[in-house]
Amino acid sequence: MYVASTRSTNGLGPSSPGSRIPTTVMLLGTVSLLTDISAEMVTAFLPVYVIFNLQMSYLQLGLLDGIYTGATAVLRLVGGHIADRVHRHKAVAVAGYGLSAATKLVFPSIGASAAGLGGVLAIDRAGKGLRTAPRDAMISLVTPPDRLGAAFGVHRTMDTIGALLGPLATFAVLTWLTTSPGPIFVISFGFGLLGLIVLVFFVRQPARERVPAKKITLRDTTDLLRDKAMRRTTVAAGLLGLATISDAFVFVVLQKVSGVSPEWLALMPVGTALTFLLAATPLGKVADRLGRWRMFFAGHIVLAVVYLLLLGPFTGLPLVIVTVALHGLFYAATDGVLMAHGATLVPERLRASGLSIVQTGQALARLASSVCFGLLLQRLEFTWSVLIALGAMVAALVGVALLIRPEVAR
């Protein structure tokens, strides 16, 4: 195991007693909560805004969004590297959160231009790309290694609460206040700004181990992949990512297979998010005890079960409830847990770079799988598409089980 994880660090003054989560993690959770309200307010509003306020076709936007998601995933690498290089994770995170917040004010002046809207969405994504690795690095730097799973769990719980509140806020404004777009964007901007203020004023850059005047180069970052555990983790997360189909497809197939009324489509993401936020912290704690890689692996077995259920062994509402609950559990067992595992593999001075490599590999793999599965759905029956996804997942699980040995798994 790497030296990094053997040293207990708490950047925030006196280390917190017992199993408490460091204040910095709670504050970063608050930043994410507020930022997610801001982001999801706009996401929930966008279809209505584009179709009714701008009288534009929705499909132009969906296309652009998919392309940008992939392109900006790579920006995580940039954010991670810069954060390590200038020794200031917080500054890079501020830039990322600030960029995303600022885009909310630009929307109204863009008007009905598909290219313009796509550009603003791309900048928003770029901000997200930039901030993710330094933020996760900060969480890992202030948390003792035996509590990393719990800390990331708490962060993801708070993050998801924000994601659930955002659409509610949009709905409340549209229903009771006004349907004109200005206030939605300004309120969203306000939440983004509040998150930024919490970050700038209340969060402190974690102190890190002193590295005697050694500059971090791109070479250092690429050398991370020479480390066996790091390389295997990245490849394994990528392989499993290749077999992970996007939420939207899970829900669409689930609605058709279960035979429930299409109105349930709107509630399925809420169900997944609720399970995710309820289970993220407990599963993070369990992962700290039993092994984070094991938890991450188990999470993907749960996803394989979700695919099995998408074949429709039974139907109706019970199928929807069970599938959505397991889908949320999959996220709870994998999302923060992978970062907690990754943090133990990388030295502190390269923490953000290391985490960004794992994240980018996973994000690009998931994008590729979404595109492929989308094409499958267009050409094949649901059952065949799901069977192919299930086969890919089982193959990935077997491959990963052979690839990642237990001694590097924890």
Partner 1 sequence: MRDWFVRHRIAAGIAAMVIVVAAATVYVVTTVRSQQPAAAAKGAPALTYVDNGGGQNLVTRLDKDGNRSTGALKCLRVYTAGGTTVCLKMTLPGAYSASVLDKSGAEVRSIPLPGTPSRARVSASGRMVSWTVFVTGDSYLAPGGFSTRTGILDLETGTLVETLEGLTTTIDGKPDDRTNENYWGVTFGDDDNTFYATLGSGNTTWLVKGDFAARAMATVRQSAECPSLSPDGTRVAYKKRGGRLGTWQLFVLDLAAGRETQLPGSDGVDDQAAWLDNDTLAYAKARQGGAPTIYSSPADGSAEPTELVPTASSPSP
Footprint of partner 1 (CB under 8 A)? 44, 47-48, 51-59, 62-63, 65-66, 69, 109, 111-112, 167-168, 170-171, 174-175, 177-180, 182-183, 186-187, 189-190, 193-194, 197-198, 200-202, 246-248, 251-252, 255, 261-263, 265-267, 269, 367, 370-371, 373-375, 377-381
Minimum CB separation of residue 345 from partner 1 in Å reads 30
Nearest to 56 by CA among 93, 122, 110, 137: 110
Nearest approach in angstroms of CB 29 to partner 1 is 16
Exposure letters 188-227 (e unless 16+ CB within 10 A, then b): bbbbbbbbbebbeeebebbebeeeeeeebeeebbeebeeb
Give me the least distance between CB of 79 and partner 1, in Å please: 23
Nearest to partner 1 of 270, 409 (CB atom): 270
Q: Which residue, 189 or 307, is less far from partner 1 as judged by CB? A: 189
Q: Of 8 and 178, which has the nearer Cβ to partner 1?
A: 178
Dist. CA 337–CA 99, nearest whole Å:
27
Query: Quick check: 332 and 279 in contact, CB under 8 A?
Result: yes
Phi and psi (nearest 5°) for 235?
Answer: -65, -40
**368 versus 408: smaller Cβ distance to partner 1:** 368
Q: Which residues, including other chains, have CB under 8 Å from residue 50's CB and lie 6 or more apart?
A: 56, 57, 58, 61, 117
User: Which phi-psi region, left, alpha or beta, contains residue 381 (left: φ > 0; alpha: ψ -120 to 50)?
Assistant: beta
Give whichever of 306 and 397 is closer to partner 1, judged by the CB atom: 306
Nearer to partner 1, 25 or 352 (CB): 25
Under 8 Å CB-to-CB from 215, ≥6 apart: which residues?
A: 85
- Residue nearer to partner 1 on the CB measure, 59 or 211: 59
Minimal distance, residue 268 CB to partner 1, in Å: 10
The two tokens of residue 142 are 């202030």
15: tokens are 């280390």
Least distance between partner 1 and beta carbon 353 (Å): 27
Minimal distance, residue 178 CB to partner 1, in Å: 4
**Based on CB atoms, which residue is closest to partner 1, 63 or 321?**
63
d(CA 161, CA 145): 25
Residue type, 172: A
The nearest distance, CB 51 to partner 1, in angstroms, is: 6
With vertex at residue 189, the alpha carbon angle to CA 188 and CA 195, rounded to the nearest 5 degrees, is 95
What's the rounded Cα separation, in Å, for the pair 248 and 69? 15
Rounded to whole angstroms, what are the CA distances from 335 to 153, 157, 279, 358? 8, 11, 11, 12
Closest separation in Å from C-beta 264 to partner 1: 9
